[in-house]
Amino acid sequence: MSKKKVASRCLVVDASVAKAAGSLESKHPTGVLCREFLMAARSVCHHVAWSDAIRAEWERHESTFARQWRLSMFNLRKLRSVRPSPSSTLRDSIQERCGEKAILSIVLDDCHLLDAAFATDFRVASLDEQVRGHLAALARAVEALQRIIWVNPAIRSEHAVEWLEKGAPDKKNRRLLEGRR
């Protein structure tokens, strides 16, 4: 029997996932879910966007498991080097529509994830529900954000591993505008 080929996507994986990913002995639910997500990304055939900003964040925050996983992804040539151009248009749109300085600061701090997503397949994996909520609210007015597909591997009901196994499809409910807020 032949196994159905799964589409390969390039994912932007936030350092929050790397920090939370537990060892094989870990029983903590978040650690287990993040570890399973990373292992599925590697085994299914997906790549991970690797920009200078993402690398720096990972190196500051990654768990021991995530460091070993990252090295295995490097050896498998599944880290895709991206050199995204920070979008001044996107940042200007966000600044125009974001009325609170504290929220603006939070959102702009993670714009490197958006830049990498726009340079690849528009898919972001992150545990940061605060940023996700702010971006979802901004997506109503900032059309470019409506293309971003966001998954939180630590939320069991999002079935992140199953999503990866199906090729990380672009489903309306996973987009910032339509998804969790």
Average pLDDT for the chain: 92
Determine contact, residues 86/111, Cβ cutoff 8 Å.
yes
Beta strands in 7-131 (DSSP E): 10-13, 47-50, 79-81, 123-125
In total, how many domains does the chain have? 1
Looking at residue 4, its pLDDT comes to 64
Looking at residue 1, its pLDDT comes to 41
Identify whether 1 is part of a domain.
no
Identify whether 66 is part of a domain.
yes
Identify whether 55 is part of a domain.
yes
Residues 6+ apart with CB under 8 A from 45: 6, 8
- For tokens 């932007």, the residue is 12
Q: How does pLDDT run across 85-139, given as a tens digit for each residue? A: 777 888 999 999 988 899 999 999 999 999 999 999 999 999 999 999 999 999 9
Domain carrying residue 36:
10-174
Q: Measure CA 119 to chain center.
A: 13
89: tokens are: 């248009």
**Phi and psi angles of residue 80, each rounded to the nearest 5 degrees, phi first:** -95, 115
Please report which confidence band the pLDDT of residue 181 belongs to, taking 50, 70 and 90 as the band edges: very low
HSE-CB of 72 using CA atoms within 13 angstroms: 13
Identify whether 5 is part of a domain.
no
Alpha-carbon torsion (134, 139, 140, 142), positive or negative = positive
Looking at residue 2, its pLDDT comes to 43
Identify whether 4 is part of a domain.
no
Identify whether 3 is part of a domain.
no
pTM: 0.92
Mean pLDDT score, 158-168: 97
Separation CA 60–CA 56 (nearest Å): 6
Name the amino acid, one letter, at 86: P
50: tokens are: 């690797």
Identify whether 94 is part of a domain.
yes
CATH number for position 146: 3.40.50
